[in-house]
Structure 1
Amino acid sequence: MSTISWTENDTVHTARWHSENGTPAAAHIVVIDDRTTANHALRLARSGTGLLWRGDFHNARHLLRAMDRRLARKSPSAAKHVDLGAIFHAQREARSHRATLLGSVLIELEGDRSIQLGRAPDVHAAYEHAYGEVPAESAETPSGTTVISLPELLGVMSAYEWHRKGIDIGAVGGRLHPAYGVFAPTRDEYIDLLAAVPFPVDDPLIFDIGTGTGVLAAVLARRGARRILATDLNPRAVRCARENIRLLGLDDRVHVTKADLWPDDTTRADLIVCNPPWLPGIPTSALELGIYDAASEMLNRFLGELAEHLTAQGEGWLILSDLAEHLGLRTREELLARIAAAGLEVLGTDETAPRHSRAADGTDPLHAARARERTMLWRLAPQR
């Protein structure tokens, strides 16, 4: 267990330090409140100082937004004929830097996960949803208090609201309830790709690799599939998918298990579906595991091992955006070469254009790439 210490009113305080992505606690902590300006807070944050908030909770959110506005003024912008890949990497670096500075604003939670600040919300249910049961006191932190960055806490609260309300997915005939740290299917155009492609055989056994919320498994079950094995390596995703499948009344057709890609080494499927992270890159949080795939490791493993997990007439359906190609992060030729090297052939493709707002945002430095983006369903089979 990591701890964090600070001096307040001539007394040394110690609390648990919680960071989802493993960010170490700041070595130096100062107490700030409603009188602290955004400029002063940023100066302290840039020096590596942690800023423990002791003012009104809503004012802490205002301070965070004011700091973010000042940082946004220095974000990279597109210049004419500038390489889109360079802009993408500069944006990621800038977002990481902003996240580090904004994460310097800290909130203390009591042992019962209450926040002893003016107008503070009740975060107990959201915290427990994200992190599990409240840990017991220890000798290192006898008060049982926990310090967490304000942006992370706000993310926990937002994720809990998404979870409570759910997302209406027409193709599953109901709502999906994403969990904290599990990528939510807010972009639904790729779901449409599964609607009409015929199954390779009648009554197929299907694997859904990297199921996340369970959305694709649910779509396939609604299409009539009666035997689906869904896997994910993220324990949160496994719990999330199981709950969604249960709420949709599909748990007699879909079985969700924790696994590193494949359910086991012996069973072969008639159809294997995978929607891997679309962009090569190193994820910086659990949530980014659904977006970034370091060195395209999951994509390459899926392709390389697909043939040995398919039946004789089986197919693999790879759902992948070509945004990485437009950003210069991966070429179409590299993807096709990887498919061929895995002993696979392309039976056909379907594609759809994005419908999200950023695709039409001309002020986005990456608009040229987003406007050309297509999400594709690649039908793959062992070379015959």
Structure 2
Amino acid sequence: MLTDLKVNKPTPIAFSKTLKSFKRDTDIALTIENLVKGKPILIKDFYSDGMALLKDLHTHLNLKLPNKSFIEQQAYRSEYFKLSNLILLEVTDQKLSAKKSPSIGWLEKFYPENNHFFLTFPQIQGLNSAWQWYKNGVSIPVLRNKMHPYYGTYFPTRFEHLSLFDNWLKHYSGAKKSAIDIGIGCGVLSLLMVQHGFQKVFATDINPNAIFALSEFMGNTKLSRKIELDFGNLFGKWKNQTELIIFNPPWLPETHNINSIDNAIYYNKTLFPDFFEAAKQRLAPQGKLVLIFSNLAQITNASQEHPIETELADGNRFQLEKCYKKSVKKASSKTKRDQYWRSTEEVELWVLTNM
């Protein structure tokens, strides 16, 4: 299956000799003016020059845009994304050309035959961070193990929702012959189910990198015989009924055009109706449907509608067995964002059964 998949990776930008460059003594105001006009800027001398320019860009945007409410922060990030992605770095022979650049293994892994191209500075930052996580691993407390997330694959940085699910699994007394995990990300929920005795987990994701990641993590171990992967939307090719269906969907409604990584964060209008319709066909009569969600959309005023509550009220397919909630830890004092809503944020674990 993996031979048919293509990894999601930043698209190389063709070489051009007409780019304006930036270094420490370049006029900052003129450089940002060029960015605002949509003109790309090349970081040619030192990698740190790009870091300095990004800092100056934040200063510029902080003077221009409010950045307090959740909606304002989304607008700020959108503008920063647009301008910062006009800042380019040159890649030559799978290495960054700028002096004192980080060594990023993904460049060699993803672009073995492309010896000269550009990527944007944020793309390079993303590749660099992802390489460190992949190389060094990320500790997942409920697994008592490290994951090595692949580039472009969602992995948890907060664990309250995982603790909720782990605790629920400890008390689960139903059949454990099979389960379906929708949207695996880096695979934590599937691994937890195997850890708690499920004989077979059928897992899907619409991100090919998630399939690559978990397949590589499992290798030829016993896990690879217990977790079967499919690259596909929602239930993919899995048609048979099962005792347990797990879904940790995005927690925020889509408000703008999103990329593949954002699919783990934002949901569109059809996601939940499509999911519940398909889940009804695949949940065994005495089975359980478990969704991991949050009140994030409501407390940030992104939406007043709760898609699970809407389904229970209007869907006539499932009934509520139990909803467990857990408060989220306060935001780190080191964060620069005003995350006032974290004091009222709760993660939720919804257990539904057939009507």
Q: Is the TM-score greater than 0.5?
A: yes
Whole-angstrom distance in 1 between the partners of 2:335 and 2:128: 31
Describe how 1:189-228 pairs up with structure 2 within 5 A: 189-197=160-168, 198-199=171-172, 201-228=174-201
Counterparts of 1:72 and 1:133 in 2: how far apart (Å)? 36
Identity in percent: 22
CA distance in 2, matches of 1:102, 1:263: 36
- Counterparts of 1:339 and 1:25 in 2: how far apart (Å)? 54
1:74 aligned to which of 41, 64, 74: 64
Tell me by how many angstroms 1:305 deviates.
2.0
- Distance change >3 Å, CA 95–CA 21, structure 1 → 2: farther
Which digits, 9 at most, give the CA deviation of each residue in 1:345-379, with x for residues without a partner?
Answer: 11101111112525x78985441x32111100000
Q: Report the Cα distance in structure 2 between the residues aligned to 1:90 and 1:23, rounded to whole angstroms.
A: 31
1:208 to partner: Cα distance: 0.6
- Return closer, same or farther for 1:331/1:116 CA change in 2, 3 Å cut-off: closer
1:50 correspondence with 2:40? yes
Question: What is the CA-CA distance between 1:45 and the residue it aligns to?
Answer: 0.5
Preserved contact between residue 22 and residue 49 of structure 2 (Cα < 8 Å): no
How do residues 290-309 of structure 1 correspond to structure 2 at under 5 angstroms? 290-295=264-269, 297-309=270-282
Between the aligned partners of 1:181 and 1:72, the Cα distance in structure 2 is: 28
The change in CA–CA distance for 1:27 and 1:320 in structure 2 (over 3 A counts) is: farther
2:346 matched residue in structure 1: 374
Native 8 Å contact 2:290 2:351 kept in 1: yes
For residues 249-268 of structure 1, what are the structure 2 equivalents within 5 Å?
250-264=223-237, 266-268=239-241
The alignment status of 1:127 with 2:107, answered yes or no, reads yes
Bigger mean CA deviation after superposition, 114-123 or 202-211 = 114-123
Q: Please report the TM-score for the alignment, with normalisation by the length of structure 1.
A: 0.81
- Rounded to whole Å, the distance in 2 between the matches of 1:292 and 1:94 is 17
Is the partner of 1:34 in helix, strand or coil?
coil
Structure-to-structure mapping, 1:152-301, within 5 angstroms: 152-197=123-168, 198-199=171-172, 201-246=174-219, 250-264=223-237, 266-281=239-254, 282=256, 284-295=258-269, 297-301=270-274
In the aligned structure 2, how far is the partner of 1:91 from the partner of 1:127? 31
Kindly provide the CA deviation profile for residues 25-80 of structure 1, in whole angstroms up to 9, marking residues without a partner as x.
999732333321432221110111111122222222222223223323434244xx
Q: 1:66 to 1:361 in 2, by over 3 A?
A: closer
Distance 1:247 1:352 in 2: 36
Question: Aligned pair count?
Answer: 344
Conservation of the 8 A alpha-carbon contact between 2:90 and 2:116: yes
**1: CA distance, partners of 2:174 / 2:196:** 14
Correspondent of 1:100 among 82, 87, 96: 82
Q: Deviations over 1:156-215 (max 9, x none)?
A: 111110111111113223111112111111111111111232336232310010001000
Between stretches 302-311 and 54-63, larger displacement belongs to: 54-63
Give deviations 1:222-249, integer Å, cap 9, x for gaps. 1111211111111101111222334985
8 Å CA contact retained: 1:171, 1:222: no
Structure 1 spans left out of the alignment, 5+ residues: 1-17, 79-86, 137-143
The equivalent of 2:4 in structure 1 is none
2:321 paired residue among 347, 369, 380:
347
Following the alignment from structure 1 to structure 2, what is the Cα–Cα distance between the partners of residues 48 and 100?
A: 9
AA of the residue aligned to 1:380: L
Task: Provide the TM-score with structure 2 as the length reference.
Answer: 0.87
State the match for 2:297 in structure 1: 324
Provide the C-alpha distance between the structure 2 equivalents of 1:91 and 1:157, rounded to a whole number of angstroms: 24
Alpha-carbon offset, residue 278 of structure 1: 0.6
Contact 2:12 2:117 in 1 (8 A): no
Distance 1:314 1:227, change over 3 A: same
AA paired with 2:348? M
Structure 1 position 293, deviation (Å): 1.4
> Which stretch shifts more, 315-324 or 100-109?
100-109
Deviation at 1:307, TM superposition (A): 1.3
Residues 196 and 365 of structure 1: CA distance in aligned 2, closer, same or farther (over 3 Å):
closer
Q: Is the 8 A contact 2:180 2:202 kept in 1?
A: yes
Q: Is the 8 A contact 2:323 2:350 kept in 1?
A: yes
Cα 1:21–1:379 shift into 2, 3 Å: farther
CA contact (8 A) 1:307 1:381 kept: no
Supply the distance in 1 between the matched residues of 2:243 and 2:161 (Cα, whole angstroms). 21
| Secondary structure at the counterpart of residue 92 of structure 1 | helix
Q: Which runs of 5+ in 2 are unaligned?
A: 1-7
